[in-house]
């Protein structure tokens, strides 16, 4: 049995209006076309829907029952159309975002807040994990999008990379703040806050100091750069950290007593927007991907003005 939505809608209109002619006007078709459609519908169902006497239509008990089913079908169709419309206009749906620690406190929550402000029906999952864990979450399609340290390429992950050199954070009243850029020689034997030994950022920082034949003193070993900011604020150390931490915690906090200086030679850093490689992203995920890309480019421009090229 194959029933069309047009047949169901036309039948409901006949039931509501009580006549073929009125139903024809309502659905914008000719009276013979509506009569033929009702006849075809009855043939498909295998029973009569109307008793035809003296030019009048009297619904059968089966027609009354069928009308209830038709109302339910058409109501569900209307809801589906509305849901699809809202999905197209990004008014509804789900968004699953994973984020590494550096962007989890201010940068990405701030961007999500702006993105979701006019989307009250969008449900969002937002978690913070280490970059290594995030790779697996994206590769296994558990999350739609992620921001993490740049991984090695793999087929199960799409990635867009952003190069972001590390900067030095120090107090505004520190004598070294008078300089436009800092070097390993400026920080020789001064207390530093660094991440744990096998983190790529620590390895890169150590390599720069070794290449310059400069010794440094690590006073604080950290899991995340955010945890080192209070130590810098109290003047206990300096910190060579990623650009996104500096941007999130200082540039967006004008009341902070910290400042940022370019560090040379470069301590290379890179972050990436990650998405599953074997699935097609939703319209909502694509839209947020674009917003995140624009926000990262904007951050790069703003921080370039702060620390120089």
Query: CB pairs under 8 A, 24+ apart, for 196-201?
Result: 196/221, 196/222, 196/223, 197/221, 200/149, 201/166, 201/241, 201/242, 201/267, 201/269
SS3 53: strand
**Residue 293: its pLDDT value, please?**
98
Number of C-beta neighbours around residue 169 at 10 A: 26
Superfamily of 92-163+270-299 according to CATH: Periplasmic binding protein-like II (3.40.190.10)
Cα R_g (the chain), whole angstroms: 32
Structure tokens at 292: 């995140």
Kindly report the three-state secondary structure assignment for every residue of 272-294: EEEEECCCCCCHHHHHHHHHHHH
* Phi, psi for residue 10 in degrees, rounded to 5: -65, -40
Q: Tell me, what's the pLDDT at 89?
A: 60
Q: Domain extents for the chain?
A: 5-88, 92-163+270-299, 167-263
**Span of 103-117, 148-162, 295-309 with lowest mean pLDDT:** 295-309
Each residue's pLDDT tens digit, 51-104 = 888 778 888 989 999 999 999 999 898 888 777 776 666 567 899 999 999 999
Instruction: Give me the residues paired with residue 122 across strands.
Output: 93
* Least confident window among 145-154, 244-253, 265-274: 244-253
Q: Which of 274, 256, 257, 271 is nearest to 141 (CA)?
A: 274
Q: What 3-state DSSP class applies to 19? A: coil
The C-alpha atoms of residue 64 and residue 44 are separated, in whole angstroms, by: 17
| Residue with the two structure tokens 């540039």 | 251
For residues 42 and 36, give the distance between their C-alpha atoms in angstroms, rounded to a whole number: 10
Q: What is the pTM of this model?
A: 0.72
Return the CATH fold of 5-88. Arc Repressor Mutant, subunit A (1.10.10)
The answer to whether 5-88 and 92-163+270-299 have equal CATH topology is no
Classify 167-263 by CATH class: alpha beta
Of residues 204 and 22, which shows the higher confidence score?
Answer: 204
Residue 26: pLDDT band with limits 50, 70, 90: confident
């Amino acid at each position: 049995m194959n029933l069309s939505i047009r047949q169901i809608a036309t039948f409901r209109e006949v039931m509501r209006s009580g006549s073929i002619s009125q139903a024809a006007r309502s659905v914008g078709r000719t009276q013979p076309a509506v009569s033929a459609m009702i006849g075809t519908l009855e043939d498909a169902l295998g029973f009569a829907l109307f008793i035809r006497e003296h030019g009048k239509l009297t619904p059968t008990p089966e027609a009354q029952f069928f009308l209830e089913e038709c109302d339910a079908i058409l109501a569900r169709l209307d809801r589906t159309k509305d849901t699809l419309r809202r999905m197209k206009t990004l008014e509804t749906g789900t968004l699953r975002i994973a984020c590494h620690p550096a962007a989890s406190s201010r940068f990405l929550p701030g961007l999500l807040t702006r993105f979701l402000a006019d989307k009250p029906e969008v449900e969002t999952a937002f978690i913070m994990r280490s970059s290594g864990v995030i790779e697996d979450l994206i590769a296994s399609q558990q999350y739609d999008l992620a921001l993490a340290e740049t991984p090695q390429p793999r087929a199960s992950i799409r990635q867009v990379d952003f190069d972001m050199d590390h900067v030095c954070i120090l107090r505004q009243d520190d004598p070294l703040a008078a300089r436009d850029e800092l070097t390993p020689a400026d920080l020789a034997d001064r207390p530093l806050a660094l991440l744990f030994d096998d983190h790529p950022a620590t390895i890169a920082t150590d390599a720069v100091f070794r290449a310059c034949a400069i010794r440094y003193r690590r006073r604080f070993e950290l899991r995340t750069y955010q945890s080192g900011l209070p130590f810098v604020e109290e003047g206990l150390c300096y910190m060579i950290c990623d650009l996104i931490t500096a941007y999130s915690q200082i540039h967006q906090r004008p009341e902070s007593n910290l400042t940022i200086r370019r560090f040379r030679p470069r301590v290379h850093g890179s972050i990436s927007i990650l998405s599953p490689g074997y699935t097609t992203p939703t319209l909502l995920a694509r839209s947020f991907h674009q917003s995140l890309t624009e926000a990262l480019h904007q951050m790069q421009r703003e921080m370039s003005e702060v620390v120089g090229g």
